[in-house]
Protein backbone atom coordinates (compact mmCIF):
# COMPACT_ATOMS: atom_id res chain seq x y z
CA UNK A 1 0.00 0.00 0.00
CA UNK A 2 1.31 3.43 -0.93
CA UNK A 3 2.03 5.88 1.85
CA UNK A 4 0.17 9.17 1.78
CA UNK A 5 2.03 12.27 0.62
CA UNK A 6 1.49 13.92 4.00
CA UNK A 7 2.93 10.89 5.81
CA UNK A 8 5.99 10.96 3.54
CA UNK A 9 6.41 14.70 4.18
CA UNK A 10 6.26 14.14 7.94
CA UNK A 11 8.82 11.34 7.70
CA UNK A 12 11.13 13.60 5.70
CA UNK A 13 10.58 16.42 8.18
CA UNK A 14 11.47 14.10 11.05
CA UNK A 15 14.73 13.06 9.39
CA UNK A 16 15.63 16.67 8.58
CA UNK A 17 14.86 17.83 12.12
CA UNK A 18 17.04 15.04 13.48
CA UNK A 19 19.91 16.18 11.22
CA UNK A 20 19.39 19.78 12.34
CA UNK A 21 19.41 18.68 15.98
CA UNK A 22 22.70 16.82 15.46
CA UNK A 23 24.25 19.91 13.89
CA UNK A 24 22.98 22.14 16.70
CA UNK A 25 24.33 19.74 19.34
CA UNK A 26 27.71 19.57 17.60
CA UNK A 27 27.89 23.37 17.57
CA UNK A 28 26.16 23.97 20.93
CA UNK A 29 23.38 26.13 19.48
CA UNK A 30 19.73 26.50 20.43
CA UNK A 31 17.16 26.25 17.61
CA UNK A 32 16.76 30.04 17.55
CA UNK A 33 20.53 30.65 17.53
CA UNK A 34 20.85 28.15 14.67
CA UNK A 35 18.16 29.99 12.65
CA UNK A 36 19.81 33.32 13.40
CA UNK A 37 23.19 32.18 12.12
CA UNK A 38 21.91 30.52 8.94
CA UNK A 39 19.63 33.49 8.17
CA UNK A 40 22.39 36.09 7.98
CA UNK A 41 24.40 36.85 4.88
CA UNK A 42 28.14 37.20 5.57
CA UNK A 43 29.52 40.74 5.30
CA UNK A 44 26.08 42.34 5.55
CA UNK A 45 24.20 44.00 8.39
CA UNK A 46 20.59 43.51 9.39
CA UNK A 47 18.36 45.34 11.84
CA UNK A 48 17.83 43.40 15.09
CA UNK A 49 14.03 43.42 14.77
CA UNK A 50 14.24 42.07 11.21
CA UNK A 51 16.55 39.26 12.37
CA UNK A 52 14.10 38.47 15.17
CA UNK A 53 11.30 38.16 12.62
CA UNK A 54 13.46 35.96 10.37
CA UNK A 55 14.13 33.70 13.37
CA UNK A 56 10.37 33.49 13.94
CA UNK A 57 10.60 35.25 17.30
CA UNK A 58 9.08 38.30 18.95
CA UNK A 59 11.39 41.31 19.10
CA UNK A 60 11.91 40.87 22.86
CA UNK A 61 12.72 37.13 22.59
CA UNK A 62 14.81 37.79 19.47
CA UNK A 63 16.74 40.45 21.37
CA UNK A 64 17.71 37.91 24.04
CA UNK A 65 18.84 35.40 21.40
CA UNK A 66 20.81 38.09 19.58
CA UNK A 67 22.45 39.10 22.88
CA UNK A 68 23.50 35.47 23.44
CA UNK A 69 24.90 35.21 19.89
CA UNK A 70 26.88 38.41 20.54
CA UNK A 71 28.05 37.13 23.94
CA UNK A 72 29.24 33.86 22.35
CA UNK A 73 31.11 35.72 19.61
CA UNK A 74 28.93 34.77 16.62
CA UNK A 75 27.54 38.27 16.02
CA UNK A 76 28.73 41.82 16.39
CA UNK A 77 26.48 44.85 16.62
CA UNK A 78 26.45 48.55 16.00
CA UNK A 79 23.98 51.22 17.03
CA UNK A 80 22.01 53.11 14.43
CA UNK A 81 23.12 56.72 14.11
CA UNK A 82 19.48 57.78 13.56
CA UNK A 83 17.96 55.80 16.44
CA UNK A 84 20.27 54.89 19.33
CA UNK A 85 17.78 52.24 20.51
CA UNK A 86 18.07 50.31 17.24
CA UNK A 87 20.97 47.99 16.49
CA UNK A 88 22.24 46.30 13.40
CA UNK A 89 24.02 42.97 13.62
CA UNK A 90 26.38 41.03 11.40
CA UNK A 91 28.29 37.78 11.58
CA UNK A 92 31.76 37.77 13.11
CA UNK A 93 34.52 35.61 11.66
CA UNK A 94 33.50 32.94 14.19
CA UNK A 95 29.86 33.23 13.06
CA UNK A 96 30.88 32.95 9.41
CA UNK A 97 32.96 29.87 10.26
CA UNK A 98 30.01 28.22 12.01
CA UNK A 99 27.70 29.13 9.14
CA UNK A 100 30.16 27.53 6.70
CA UNK A 101 30.21 24.37 8.83
CA UNK A 102 26.40 24.25 8.80
CA UNK A 103 26.35 24.74 5.04
CA UNK A 104 29.00 22.02 4.62
CA UNK A 105 26.81 19.58 6.55
CA UNK A 106 23.78 20.61 4.47
CA UNK A 107 25.79 20.09 1.28
CA UNK A 108 26.91 16.62 2.40
CA UNK A 109 23.31 15.69 3.15
CA UNK A 110 22.15 17.00 -0.22
CA UNK A 111 24.92 15.10 -2.02
CA UNK A 112 23.86 11.86 -0.34
CA UNK A 113 20.33 12.43 -1.63
CA UNK A 114 21.47 13.43 -5.11
CA UNK A 115 23.76 10.45 -5.63
CA UNK A 116 20.69 8.19 -5.50
CA UNK A 117 18.76 10.23 -8.06
CA UNK A 118 19.25 11.10 -11.71
CA UNK A 119 19.43 14.75 -12.73
CA UNK A 120 15.91 14.47 -14.17
CA UNK A 121 14.60 13.02 -10.89
CA UNK A 122 16.30 15.81 -8.94
CA UNK A 123 14.68 18.45 -11.13
CA UNK A 124 11.25 16.81 -10.77
CA UNK A 125 11.79 16.52 -7.01
CA UNK A 126 12.73 20.21 -6.68
CA UNK A 127 9.72 21.26 -8.71
CA UNK A 128 7.45 19.00 -6.66
CA UNK A 129 8.78 20.38 -3.37
CA UNK A 130 8.21 23.92 -4.66
CA UNK A 131 4.64 23.09 -5.64
CA UNK A 132 3.99 21.44 -2.28
CA UNK A 133 5.38 24.48 -0.48
CA UNK A 134 3.28 26.85 -2.59
CA UNK A 135 0.17 24.73 -1.97
CA UNK A 136 0.68 24.61 1.78
CA UNK A 137 1.69 28.26 2.14
CA UNK A 138 -1.07 29.37 -0.21
CA UNK A 139 -3.74 27.51 1.71
CA UNK A 140 -3.11 29.59 4.85
CA UNK A 141 -2.33 26.51 6.93
Give pLDDT tens digits for 48-68: 899 999 999 999 999 999 999
Q: Are the CB atoms for 92 and 76 separated by under 8 Å?
A: yes
Measure CA 98 to chain center.
12
User: How many contiguous H segments (helices) and E segments (strands) does the chain have?
Assistant: 6, 3
First to last CA, the chain: 28
DSSP label at residue 41: P
Ordered domains of the chain (ranges, CATH): 5-138 (1.10.10.10)
Is pLDDT above 90 for 38?
A: yes
Give pLDDT tens digits for 61-90: 999 999 999 999 999 998 877 777 778 999
How do strand 46-47 and strand 87-91 relate by DSSP bridges? antiparallel
Q: Alpha-carbon distance 95 to 42, whole Å?
A: 9
- Which pLDDT band holds residue 139 (cuts at 50, 70, 90)? low
Give pLDDT tens digits for 100-137: 999 998 888 888 888 989 999 999 988 998 998 888 88
Q: Which contacts of 89-93 are long-range, i.e. CB under 8 A and separated by 24 or more positions?
A: 89/40, 89/45, 89/46, 89/48, 89/51, 90/40, 90/43, 90/44, 90/45, 90/46, 91/37, 91/40, 91/42, 91/43
pTM score: 0.78
Q: Alpha-carbon distance 67 to 23, whole Å?
A: 21
CA 84-86-87 angle, 5° bins: 105
Amino acid sequence: MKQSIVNLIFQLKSVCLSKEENIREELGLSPAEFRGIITLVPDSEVNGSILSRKMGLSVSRGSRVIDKLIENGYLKYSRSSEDKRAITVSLTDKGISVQRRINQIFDECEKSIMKKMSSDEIEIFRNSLSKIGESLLGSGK
